[in-house]
Amino acid sequence: MIYRKRKRKGDKYSDNVIIGLQNIYYLLMVMAITVTIIGFFGIEFSKLLTALSIVAAAIAIISKEFVSDIIAGMSITFSKELSIGDYVKVGEYKGRVIDINLHKIVLHHDDDDIIYIPNSKAYNDDIINYTQKEIRKFNVDFAINSELNIPLSALQVTIHRVLLRYNDSIVLDSEKLKVINILKDEIRYKLQFKLNQMNPVLAEQIKSEIREAISLLVIKD
């Protein structure tokens, strides 16, 4: 409440600090309830503390992954690596962060799927935060069989037709197509374009349409 007032935010506002504090609150509540329940049985505090230590050690051994998820989750929530609403890539998964809880990070995937990633896995995987980096430049790598003899100009025309559909979203003259390697059986190309604003979902859509257009060109030849 105090933190939200200092930030001049409403009751529904949430960020990493609030999520982290909520997670700590939940842990403390569980501990307090456990101590209270055991206290009803008249067990002395020193004995209770010893018993809890033994139980905690046993739980840590039995549920190592569970404990690792909690520790990793606390570290992630208080870090600046990702926040609710960020568009990120965690390991092999891409999506928008919709929740960070004690055990998992919840992503809303581009295919409209909900993905749950254990905190310990996310902590140990590479995390790319597209929102923080504000990446607006995107690449499309592809290869074409050299026997097809498709001229570079034909590829440029095909790609340009796709990009024209998104003329309002792409930076003028940012389209660049170049040959990056010529092998015995194939020629490898790299296309680069830049968006006016950071929009990874739109970029993936454009890249998909470009690859589809190139595939159709190859089939025709």
For 145-189, what is each residue's pLDDT tens digit? 988 889 999 999 999 999 999 999 998 888 999 999 999 899 999
The mean per-residue pLDDT over the stretch 103-126 comes to 87
166: DSSP letter = T
Amino acid (1-letter code) at residue 61: I
The mean per-residue pLDDT over the stretch 94-112 comes to 85
CA distance linking residue 157 with residue 177, whole number of Å: 11
Percent of the chain topping pLDDT 90: 28
Residue 96 has pLDDT above 50, yes or no: yes
Domains of the chain: 2-131 (2.30.30.60), 134-220 (3.30.70.380)
Task: Please give the structure tokens belonging to residue 78.
Answer: 């208080």
| pLDDT for res 3 | 39
| pLDDT for res 189 | 95
The mean per-residue pLDDT over the stretch 92-110 comes to 86
Residue 8 has pLDDT above 50, yes or no: no
Contact criterion met (CB below 8 Å) for 10 and 4: yes
Q: How far is CA 81 from CA 17, 58, 123, in A?
A: 13, 32, 10
What pTM, to 2 d.p., does this model score? 0.48
Residue 129 has pLDDT above 80, yes or no: yes
Confidence tier at 220 by pLDDT (50, 70, 90): confident
For 59-68, what is each residue's pLDDT tens digit? 666 556 776 7
Residue 137: what are its φ and ψ, rounded to 5°?
-100, 130
How many Å from the N-terminal Cα to the C-terminal Cα in the chain? 65
